[in-house]
Amino acid sequence: MTTAQTAASTADVHGQVERHPQGALGRITAETVRRASALVQTGEVLDLGSTLSAEMPQGIGGDKIFFPFKTVRYRSSPDIVRGEEFAGTSFSTEIVMGTPHVGTHLDAFCHVQLDGRVYGGATAAEAEGDFGWRAQAMEGIKPIVTRGVFLDIAGDRGVERLPDFDEIPLAEVQAAVEQRGITIEPGDAVLVRTGKMLHFDDPAAFVAGQPGLSVDAAIWLYDQGMAVLGADNTSVEPQPVVDWARNLHVEMLYRRGVHLLEWVDLEPLRAAGATTFLFTCLPLKIKGATGSWVRPIAIL
Q: What is the CATH number of the domain that holds 175?
A: 3.50.30.50
292 - beta bridge partners?
106
- The verdict on 83 and 201 lying in the same domain is no
132: left (phi over 0), alpha (psi -120 to 50) or beta: left
Residue 81's pLDDT band (cuts 50, 70, 90)? low
pLDDT score recorded for residue 17: 85
- The verdict on 37 and 74 lying in the same domain is no
Residue 25's pLDDT band (cuts 50, 70, 90)? very high
- The verdict on 89 and 183 lying in the same domain is no
Task: Judge whether 57 lies within some domain.
Answer: no
Task: Judge whether 61 lies within some domain.
Answer: no
CA angle 109/61/98 to nearest 5° reads 60
Task: Judge whether 199 lies within some domain.
Answer: yes
Segment (H or E) for 107: strand 105-107
pLDDT score recorded for residue 47: 98
**Type of residue found at 2:** T
Residue 93's pLDDT band (cuts 50, 70, 90)? confident
DSSP 3-state of 144? strand
Task: Inform me whether the pLDDT recorded for 3 exceeds 60.
Answer: no
Task: Judge whether 56 lies within some domain.
Answer: no
DSSP 3-state of 192? strand
- The verdict on 90 and 120 lying in the same domain is no
d(CA 35, CA 18): 24
Tell me which residue range forms the domain holding 73: 67-97
Task: Judge whether 59 lies within some domain.
Answer: no
pLDDT score recorded for residue 117: 94
- The verdict on 111 and 79 lying in the same domain is no
CB atoms within 10 A of CB 13: 6
- The verdict on 21 and 119 lying in the same domain is yes
Task: Judge whether 195 lies within some domain.
Answer: yes
Q: Count structural domains, the chain.
A: 2
Task: Inform me whether the pLDDT recorded for 63 exceeds 60.
Answer: no
pLDDT score recorded for residue 64: 62
Task: Inform me whether the pLDDT recorded for 89 exceeds 90.
Answer: no
Task: Judge whether 60 lies within some domain.
Answer: no
- Strands 167-168 and 212-213, by their bridges, are parallel
Q: Which of 16-20, 227-231, 291-295 has the lowest mean pLDDT?
A: 16-20
- The verdict on 200 and 87 lying in the same domain is no
- The verdict on 217 and 93 lying in the same domain is no
- Strands 93-97 and 70-75, by their bridges, are antiparallel
Q: What does the pLDDT average to over 154-173?
A: 98
pLDDT score recorded for residue 9: 36
Burial 254-286 (b: 16+ CB within 10 A, else e): bbbbbbbbbbbbbbbbbeeebbbbbbbbbbeeb
Residues in contact with 22: Cβ distance below 8 Å, sequence separation at least 6, in sequence order: 140, 141, 142, 257
SS3 content of the chain, % helix, strand, coil (to 5): 30, 20, 50
Q: Is the pTM of this model over 0.75?
A: yes
Task: Judge whether 231 lies within some domain.
Answer: yes
Task: Inform me whether the pLDDT recorded for 201 exceeds 60.
Answer: yes
Segment (H or E) for 46: strand 45-47
Whether the Cβ atoms of residue 23 and residue 258 lie closer than 8 Å to each other: yes
- The verdict on 266 and 121 lying in the same domain is yes
- The verdict on 140 and 282 lying in the same domain is yes
pLDDT score recorded for residue 176: 98
Task: Inform me whether the pLDDT recorded for 181 exceeds 90.
Answer: yes
- The verdict on 159 and 291 lying in the same domain is yes
- The verdict on 8 and 86 lying in the same domain is no
DSSP 3-state of 252? helix
Task: Inform me whether the pLDDT recorded for 80 exceeds 80.
Answer: no
Q: What does the pLDDT average to over 19-35?
A: 95
When comparing pLDDT for 111 and 81, which is higher? 111
Task: Inform me whether the pLDDT recorded for 195 exceeds 90.
Answer: yes
